[in-house]
Chain A
Amino acid sequence: MMREFVKTYTSLYKEHEDTLNRSSVPLLNQQRSNAMERFDQMGFPDNKREDYRHLDLTAVLEVDYGMNLKRFNIPSNPHDVFRCDVPNLTTKLMFSVNDQFYPNEKPLNLPQGVLCGSLAELSKTHEALLAPYFNQLAEQSLDGLVHFNTAFAQDGFLLYVPENVILDKPLQLIQILQGPEEMLVQRRLLVIMEKGSQAQLLLCDHTLSPNRFLVNQVSELFVADNARLEYYELEMSHAATTRLSHTFASVGASANLSQNGMTLSNGLTRNNIEVHLNGSNSEANLSGLALVENEQFVDNHIWVDHAVPHCVSNQLYKYVLDDQSKGVFSGRILVQQDAQKTAAYQSNRNLCMSKESKMFTKPQLEIYADDVRCSHGSATGQMDETAMFYIRSRGIPEKEARLLMKFAFAADVIDNIHLDPLKDRMRMLVEKRFRGELARCAGCTAAQCS
C-alpha cells in the first residue's frame, strides 16, 4: 500500500520537476533529486516500523491532495481574516499561508544583519550563508517523510540572527492553512542562531478552511555556542488536519534551547523532535502539553542525543485524554560514550479521562557513559480522589473541582513558557479548552481562533 503512495509521488515528481525548480530557488533545488532518491528508498513509514507502531498513515495518504506547485498567489490577506489577540504580547508578527511565506506589509524593524522572512527570497541574496546549514541535519534522517519534504519544498521560513545580536521582542509566525480543496503542504523552517545571539520564536498553527490538510513540516534549528533560542509551537487546528512535524536541532557549547509544543486542538499530530547536544555545557529543555478529545491523536517522539560531556537535558510531557482520543509518547535519551557528567531527565504524565481513551508510552534510556545522572518516569492514571474530596469539602462543586485539578495538572508545562503574556494567554486558553468553550475547531473561523 505504502509503496503505491510512494510511486504516485515519485511519478508526480518526475512529471513536475521542472515546475518545482522553476518556481523555487537553487538552494532548495540542488537538494531535490538526492532527497527524492532517499525518499524512494525509504518510502513512507508504515506501522510495522517500531517508531510508527501506533500511527497508521494509510488513511491519510489515500486522500488525493492538491499541491500548490506553480506557486499561485495567496488569494486573501491574512492580516484581514486573522487576528491573533494575545493581549500585551507585542510580537513581530508574520504569516505564512500553507507553505508560502506571506510578505510583510510593513518592515519588521529588526536589528541589522538579522534575516527573517521567506527562505526562497532571502536565499537569492544570501545563498552562500545558508548553504552550509540548509538540509544539513535533515539529510541524516532515516524517515522517508523528511526527504519527501526536501524533495517538494519550494519555500519556507528563515530566521538568521548574527553573532551577539539579541532580539528583545519575540517573533511570531502564524502558519495558516487555507485552500479551496484538499491540500498537501510541505512546510520548511530554518533557524540559525549565531554565537551569543538570542531569540524567541512562536509558531501558531491554524486551519481556516474546513477541508482536509496534510502538513509535512521540517524544521532545522542551529543554535551556536552561547546562543539561546526559545521555540514555541502552538497547534489549534481542526479534526481534518494531519500534522507531521520533524524538528532537528543542533546545540553548541554553553548554548540553550527551549522547545515547547502545545496541542490544544488537532486532528492527527505527529511531532518528531531530535536534539543533538554537540557542545559541552549546553542545555535543552523540551516540554509538551496535549489536550485531546473526540478522535484526536497526538504522537510525540523525542530523541535527545548527548554527544559530549557536561550537558543537561530535561523533558516534560503531559497528556489529558478524553473521549476516544489516543496519545503516544516516546522519549529516548542517548548518552554517548565519554559524555560524562551528563544530567538527563524525562518525565511523562498522563490523565485518562474516559474509558475509551488510550495512552501508549515508551520512555527509553540508552546510556554508554558511567558518570551520569539519568532518570525517566512515566505515570498514567486518574484524578487523585483524596485531593478531589479535599476540594469538595471546601464547598467547591465536583465539576469545578475536576476542572481545577485538570488545570493544575497542565500548569507546570505552561510554567515552562518564559514569555509572560503568552503564559497568561495559554492559561486562559487551556482553561477555556477544559470548559469546552474553546471552539472545537471543526468549523474553525478566524474569530474563534484567537
Chain B
Amino acid sequence: MAVESTNILEEVTSGEYKYGFITDIDSDSIASGLTEDVVRYISMKKNEPEWMLDFRLKAYRHWLTLEMPDWAHLKIPEINYQDIIFYSAPKSKKGPESLDEVDPELLKTFEKLGIPLEEQKMLTGMAVDAVMDSVSVKTTFKENLAELGIIFCSFSEAVQQYPDLVRQYLGSVVGYRDNFFAALNCAVFSDGSFAYIPKGVRCPMELSTYFRINAANTGQFERTLIVADDNSYVSYLEGCTAPMRDENQLHAAIVEIVAMEQAEVKYSTVQNWYPGDKNGKGGIYNFVTKRGLCKGRGSKISWTQVETGSAITWKYPSCILAGDDSVGEFYSVAVTNNYQQADTGSKMIHLGKNTKSRIVSKGISAGRSQNSYRGMVKISPRADNARNFSQCDSLLLGDRCGAHTFPYIDINNDSAVVEHEATTSKINEDQLFYCNQRGISTEDAVGLIVNGYAKEVINKLPMEFAVEAQKLLQITLEGSVG
C-alpha cells in the first residue's frame, strides 16, 4: 500500500502540461523594458483619449515609488521589469469584422484550448472574448447581447465606444494606488474585457474570456471590468493557458466588479497557466488583483476559482460589502504540484449592515509545492449583524510539500458572528482501504477522494467549466487521479 502510493505520487510529478503549444503567429511587440515612453506608446497604439493616458502615467509614477511586496509565503525570484515586453499583439490589419477574418492559426489555437469559437457560438450559446497575449482577439455573440442592452466587448473597444462608462468605473474598485502589481497593471494594461449589464436584465448566457500568453518574454496585463446595474444578473467565466517555456513570464491582471442594488455577479475562473516543468523551471507568475464592490443594497458577488497552474500564484479575490444586506462568496480549489507555490485566499470587508460572507477554500498540495491560504475577514464598526463563515481545508499528498493557513480576523462590532475553521491532513487511509477493498485501484481511489474533496467548490462552477475543472484537477495530479 505504502509502496504503491509512493509510486503514484512519483507519477504525479511526471504529469505534463497539455496546453504547452506555441502558436506561430506574427506578433507586433515592442522592445523590452518599462519607461514612461512605453506607457505613452501603449496608449498611443490603442488610440486612447487623454484621460486614459493620464491614468496610466499617474499609475506608472506611483509604481516607481513602490517595492515588490514580500509578505506572502512565497519565494519569488527577483523579477527584472526591464526584461519584460510590455506590449505584444497578434499582427492584423484592422479589427476583424467576422470570424472568417480572424487569423486561422489563431482560431486553431483556441480550438486546441477547447474553445472553438464557431462551436461555442452554435452549440453552447456562450459569449466568448478571447484575449491572446495582450489583445482581445474576438468577441462572439456581441450582436445577440446588444439586443438586450448588454455591452460585452474588449476593453480597448469600450474605451473608444463607451468612454463615459469606463471612466466612471475604471479604478473605482482597484485603484492604481492599491498595490505594486495593481499599479503596474494600471500603467501598462493593454486589453481585457468589459461588460455592462443594464438595469433589470438577466444575462441569458455565460460571458467568458479566455486568456493566453503566446509570445516569449511577454508579460500579460489585462483588465476586466464588470458593471452590473440594479436588479441584473451575470455569470462570467475566465480561463487561462500559456505555452511551455523555460523562462518565467509575468501575468499581472486586475478584475473589477461593481454590483448595484440587488444585482448579482458570479465570477468563475479556471486558471491553468503553465506551471513550470517538474524541476520547477519556467512557468507563469500569476500576480492578480481581483476585487468586487457590492455597492447597492442586497447585491451579491460570488467568486469561484480553480487554480491548477502558474509557478507562483499571488491572488486574493475579495469583496467589499458596502451595501446593506449584501453577500460575498468565495469558493476555491487550489492545487499545487512539483515546485509550484500558491498564496491565495480571499478578503471580505464588511461595511454595510446585515452583510454576509462565506469562504470555502480547499487546498491540495503534492510534490514539493507550497500551498497557502491567506484571507481576511474584517467587520467595520458600522457593520451591524455581519455574519461570516470560513472553512479552509488542506490536503497533503506527499511528505515534501507544505500547506499553510494564515487567516486574519478583525472584528470591530459586537453583533458580528464570525467563524473560521481549518483542518490539514493527508488522504484518509480508511477511505483508501475501503475503495481498494471494493476493487478500485489506489490510483482511482485517490482520484475519487480528491474529487469528492473538491466537489463543494466545483459544484459552484457553471456546467461547462465544471467538466473542464475536473479534467484539470486530473491533469495536475496525473497519476494519483484516475
Chain B hits for A256, CB < 8 A:
none
Does A189 reach chain B (CB closer than 8 Å)? no
Interface stretch (choices B155-163, B339-347, B390-398)? B390-398
Q: Does B281 contact A (CB under 8 A)?
A: no
A362 to B73, CA, bound (A): 15
Known: A340-B399, A360-B410, A380-B409. A365 touches B424 (CB 8 A): yes
Partner of B422, one of A358, A363, A369, A372: A363
* B204 → A minimal CB distance (Å): 41
Question: 1/0 contact trace for B412-426 toward A, CB 8 Å?
Answer: 111111111111111
Closest to B421 in A: A377
Indicate if A352 sits at the interface (CB-CB under 8 A): yes
Query: Could you tell me the distance in whole angstroms from the C-beta of B341 to the nearest C-beta in chain A?
Result: 13
A interface residues, how many (CB within 8 angstroms) = 36
Question: In the complex, what's the smallest C-beta–C-beta distance from B13 to chain A, in angstroms?
Answer: 15
Partner of A372, one of B411, B416, B418, B426: B426
Chain A contact residues, majority secondary structure:
strand
Query: Dominant SS at the B interface?
Result: strand
Chain B residue with minimal CB distance to A378?
Answer: B420
B425 and A377 contacting across the interface, CB-CB below 8 Å = no
**Are B419 and A379 interface neighbours, CB within 8 A?**
yes
CB distance from B404 to the nearest CB of A (A): 5
User: Which residue of the partner chain, among A358, A361, A371, contacts B412 with CB atoms under 8 Å?
Assistant: A358
Interface flag for B406 (CB, 8 Å): yes
Identify which of A50, A337, A360, A367 contacts B424 (C-beta below 8 A). A367
Is B418 touching A379 in the complex (CB atoms < 8 A)? yes
Q: Within the complex, what minimum Cβ distance (angstroms) separates A205 from chain B?
A: 28
Q: Which residue of B lies closest to A327 (CB)?
A: B411
Shortest Cβ distance from residue B311 to the other chain A in the assembled complex, whole angstroms? 19
* Residue pair B396, A367 in contact (C-beta under 8 Å): yes
Return B430 CB to nearest CB of chain A, in Å. Answer: 13
Cα separation A358 to B410 with both chains bound (whole Å): 8
Which residues from chain B sit less than 8 Å from chain A, CB to CB? Answer: 71, 73, 381, 394, 396-426
Contact A380 B421 (CB under 8 A): no
A-B contact pairs, 24 of them (CB 8 A): A340-B399, A352-B416, A357-B414, A358-B412, A361-B420, A362-B406, A363-B420, A365-B403, A367-B394, A367-B402, A368-B402, A370-B398, A372-B396, A372-B425, A372-B426, A374-B423, A375-B421, A375-B422, A375-B424, A376-B422, A377-B422, A380-B409, A381-B417, A382-B414
Which residues on B sit within 8 Å (CB–CB) of A352? 411, 413-414, 416
Pairwise interchain contact B421-A360, C-beta atoms closer than 8 A: no
Question: Is the pair A377, B420 in contact by a Cβ cutoff of 8 Å?
Answer: yes
- Closest 6 A-B residue pairs measured CB to CB? A370-B396, A352-B414, A381-B417, A365-B405, A374-B424, A368-B402
- Interface core residue of B397, B404, B406 (most chain A CB under 10 Å): B404
Q: Determine the distance from Cα of A274 to Cα of B133 in the docked complex, in whole angstroms.
A: 49
A142 → B minimal CB distance (Å): 16
Contacts A365-B424, A367-B424 given; indicate if A381 touches B416 (C-beta within 8 A).
yes
**Binary interface encoding of chain A residues 331-365 relative to chain B, with 1 for a CB under 8 A from any of its CBs, else 0:** 00000011010000000001011111111111111
Please report the C-alpha to C-alpha distance between residue A380 and residue B417 in the assembled complex, in whole angstroms: 6
